[in-house]
Amino acid sequence: MELKYVFYVGVQPEQLWQVLISPEGTKATFFGSVIRSTFEVGSTLEYVGPGNNGDETVHVYGTVQSFEPNSVISYEEHPGPSYYPNHAELKSRITITLEAVGTSTKLTLVNDQWSDNHPSLSKTEDSWPMILSNIKTFAETGKTLDFGW
């Protein structure tokens, strides 16, 4: 299974990149979570924020597979330990690519290499459009979308 989304965002790749990797950007667009990583290939990557285990809940964790500033980030990911007892067995890959298009940026997200019977697949399929719409809005306006939660 492959989930693929393409968005055009009215900012340059460098600005959009900061929304994707900075604590301020991820906290605003990923439901209060910050990304923690050195971003070196092979290093750990975690999205940590409010959740089942308090303010430091690990929602997603994995390993950086590719990192080219302002261009591409790819990582293998697992759901956080508080979600499923077999979290380490459940995995997928996320690749985000940015490409300048005039004064805008083409953002392509591919979420693939899903482990068999991954219980988060349907929820993820629904949440990526919300997250990406929030990223687009935040990058362009500095505001986030209100999903009523």
Q: Dihedral sign for Cα 44, 72, 103, 143, please.
A: negative
Q: Which two tokens stand for residue 121?
A: 């697949």
Q: What is the pLDDT of residue 131?
A: 92
Q: Does position 149 have pLDDT exceeding 70, yes or no?
A: no
Q: What is the pLDDT of residue 107?
A: 98
Instruction: Read off the pLDDT of each residue in 14-21 and give the average, rounded to a whole number.
Output: 96
pLDDT digits (tens, 9 = 90+) for 73-117: 999 999 998 889 999 999 999 999 999 999 999 999 999 999 998
Q: If you search the block for the tokens 């068999």, which residue do you land on?
A: 116
Distance CA 109, CA 122 (A): 16
**0.75 exceeded by pTM:** yes
Q: Which two tokens stand for residue 102?
A: 């005039």
Q: For 51-67, give the secondary structure using H, E and C.
A: ECCEEEEEEEEEEEEEE
List the domains of the chain with CATH numbers. Answer: 3-141 (3.30.530.20)
Q: What is the pLDDT of residue 26?
A: 92
Question: Which residues make Cβ contacts (< 8 Å) with residue 75, sequence separation at least 6?
Answer: 45, 62, 63, 64, 65, 93, 94
Q: Does position 41 have pLDDT exceeding 90, yes or no?
A: yes
Residues of the chain above pLDDT 70, percent: 99
| R_g over Cα of the chain | 15
Residues of the chain above pLDDT 90, percent: 82
Instruction: Read off the pLDDT of each residue in 117-122 and give the average, rounded to a whole number.
Output: 90
